[in-house]
Structure 1
Amino acid sequence: MSSFSMDISGPFPSGQFTGGLGGPNTGGHQPPNWYIQYGMDLAAPPGTPVHAAFDAHITKFSPHDPGADNGKVYGAQLFMRSPNDMMGGFYTHLTNVPQLAVGSQVSRGDLLGEVTEFGGIDSHLHLALVEIIGGAPGGQYQGVDIYQLFLNSPASDTTTSVTFMQDGSPPTW
């Protein structure tokens, strides 16, 4: 398999990120699902715009249903994959999602919605990334830990080239 690089940006406008609330394999971020285990909780005030961290197409979308919110699942959920189908992401705890649907194309920096609020829980975006070794649909999903990158560069106006090795090793930047 050949490695590939993608430009990745933080999900928030400059100055809106208020800190990390936990990264992959910590707290409630446990296996077996990559989108939970490799989650990064990035704190921002309710209503903060959330932008796409990379170019992608939406593969699954669950709109926000406030009546179904609970302490673990709340807000809209978006699954998306890169144009080459070799990397993907999961965003949740969103509200006011623009007209997005399965198949919608998004570019890095496009608005995906806003950070929602759920009573008693620090407002944050849950973002998880996955490398798809061999590409989707039949590839092997390997969660990606780039939490430190987002802690160091959370703003959507900062771009970092991240290289995915396609061999199960961590990405580099």
Structure 2
Amino acid sequence: MSPFDIDFSNPFPSGFSGGLGGPNQGGHQPPQWYIQFGMDLGADEGTQIFAAFDAHITKYAPHDPAADTQKVYGAQLFMRAPNDMMGGFYTHLTDVPDGLGVGSTVSRGDFLGTVLRFDPTATHLHLALVEIIGGAPNGTYTGVDLYKLFLDTANTDTVTTVTFMQDGSPPTVN
């Protein structure tokens, strides 16, 4: 497989309040990649959340307040990069724009919603990333740890190119 690059920006160009834990920390444990490789990025309720990379939405579960639990709450967005070889999972958001759903295309920096307050001690966005070796839908899903990148670029408009090797090794932040 050939390596590929994706440009990332922070989902919080403003309003980020601190990191609350990254992959394999605290409750971020296997077996699901979208939990194990989760990054909890702190922000106050109502802080705007933006797409970290160009993508198309493959799954969407709108926020249903009646179904909220301590672990699962807010809207959920699964999206994949245009080449279907990398994806992301966003949760704990609300105010998702009308018309945004399965099949929608988003560009890096597009508005996705706002941070939902459910747990007042740890209001945050949960974002998990995955490299799909061989491409979706039948590729091998390998979680990606870009927590340090998101901590380092919080509250900025910095664009960072990340190279995915398609061999199971960690991506390279350029």
TM-score (norm 1): 0.97
Q: Equivalent residue for 1:57?
A: 56
Task: Work out the CA distance in 1 between the residues paired with 2:154 and 2:104.
Answer: 24
Q: Could you tell me which amino acid in structure 1 is paired with residue 72 of structure 2?
A: V
SS of residue paired to 1:163: strand
Q: Closer, same or farther in 2 for the Cα pair 1:118/1:145, shift >3 Å?
A: same
Q: Equivalent residue for 2:124?
A: 124
- Aligned-residue sequence identity (percent) comes to 72
Moved over 4 A (4+): none
- Structure 1 stretch 147-156 or stretch 45-54: which is displaced more? 147-156
Task: Work out the CA distance in 1 between the residues paired with 2:125 and 2:116.
Answer: 8
Residues 50-103 of structure 1: per-residue CA shift (max 9 Å, x gap)? 000000000000000111111000000000000000000000000000021100
Is 1:154 paired with 2:154? Answer: yes
Task: Work out the CA distance in 2 between the residues paired with 1:22 and 1:106.
Answer: 26
Q: Tell me, which stretches of 5 or more residues in structure 2 are unaligned?
A: none
Task: Work out the CA distance in 2 between the residues paired with 1:24 and 1:172.
Answer: 17
Task: Work out the CA distance in 1 between the residues paired with 2:156 and 2:130.
Answer: 20
Q: Is the 8 A contact 1:52 1:112 kept in 2?
A: yes
Root-mean-square deviation (Å)? 0.9
Q: Could you tell me which amino acid in structure 2 is paired with residue 88 of structure 1?
A: G
Residues 119-139 of structure 1: per-residue CA shift (max 9 Å, x gap)? 444110000000000000110
Is 1:66 paired with 2:65? Answer: yes
Q: Equivalent residue for 1:3?
A: 3
TM-score (norm 2): 0.97
Q: Could you tell me which amino acid in structure 1 is paired with residue 165 of structure 2?
A: M
Query: How many residues are treated as equivalent by the alignment?
Result: 172
